[in-house]
Amino acid sequence: MKRFIYLLISMLFVYGVWTHWLKPNKGIEDHHNDQIVNEQIKTFDQFTIENLSAFEGEFRVLSREDYSMGREAEISPVDFALGWGRMAEPQIYKQLSIRQSNRWYYWRYENTPPIDVREIETHSANMHMIPANKDIAKQLSKVQKDDLIYLKGHLVEVRAQDGWIWRSSLTREDTGNGACELFLIEDMRIMVSS
């Protein structure tokens, strides 16, 4: 009887160690879309998303542009042109003519810029929004020009199986091609609605 109890206790111990410490991790194929495989990489439909840098802040929506065509639109259906610092102040950014097209953000001014041009460049950006789930997608759809919003998530790199890559800028010192942020939104709220 003692042998049986000892054997039973040993078997339970081995099972516990296997279940909680030694059991192999699930592979990507065992996870549903939008679930974390590890802290750095997520799957999203046919794309793989790698976190490059945590990113969050309060931003003014200077403009928004929705997209439905092209591969980029499958993962990022909307771009926000965002401002922060003095570029979040209406008395500053409303002196600029701001528009978006083809995943770009454009601004211009009449006569004299309201603040130094370099400050405009480093305190505003076109950001490609990737909603982390359906709830975030629904919240993003409600955002309007002039809203003050809080966004939290990661700057990311997106890859497809055919080798296509879309990578976020990781600095606010750049301008032009490749300077946009590719922003996986994991938390957000509209702080002041227009």
Cα separation of the two ends of the chain? 76
- Residue 164 located in a structural domain: yes
- Residue 21 located in a structural domain: no
pLDDT for res 14: 38
pLDDT for res 112: 95
Lookup result for tokens 């946009």: 180
- Residue 165 located in a structural domain: yes
- Residue 80 located in a structural domain: yes
| Segments of the chain scoring below 50 in pLDDT | 2, 4-38
pLDDT for res 11: 46
- Residue 10 located in a structural domain: no
- Residue 122 located in a structural domain: yes
pLDDT for res 39: 54
**Which DSSP string corresponds to 143-192?**
--TT-EEEEEEEEEEEEETTS-EEE----SS--STT-SEEEEEEEEEEEE
- pTM for this prediction: 0.77
- Residue 28 located in a structural domain: no
Please state whether beta strands 181-192 and 124-131 pair in parallel, antiparallel, or not at all (unpaired).
parallel
Say if residues 166 and 154 touch (Cβ distance below 8 Å).
no
Half-sphere exposure (Cβ direction) of 91: Cα atoms closer than 13 Å: 0
Q: What are 183's two structure tokens?
A: 């922003």
Expressed as residue numbers, the domain containing 93 is: 41-192
| CA angle (173 as vertex; 172, 178 as ends), nearest 5 | 75
- State how far the Cα of 176 lies from the Cα of 148, in Å rounded to an integer: 25
CB neighbours of residue 113 within 10 Å: 16
CATH number at residue 181: 2.40.50.140
Count up the domains in the chain and report the number: 1
pLDDT for res 92: 98
The length of the chain, given as a count of residues: 194
- Residue 108 located in a structural domain: yes
Q: What is the pLDDT of residues 8-19, one digit of tens each?
A: 444 444 334 333
CA-CA distances (angstroms) from residue 101 to 1, 66, 67, 98? 79, 10, 10, 11
pLDDT for res 1: 52
Which amino acid is residue 191, in one-letter code? Answer: M
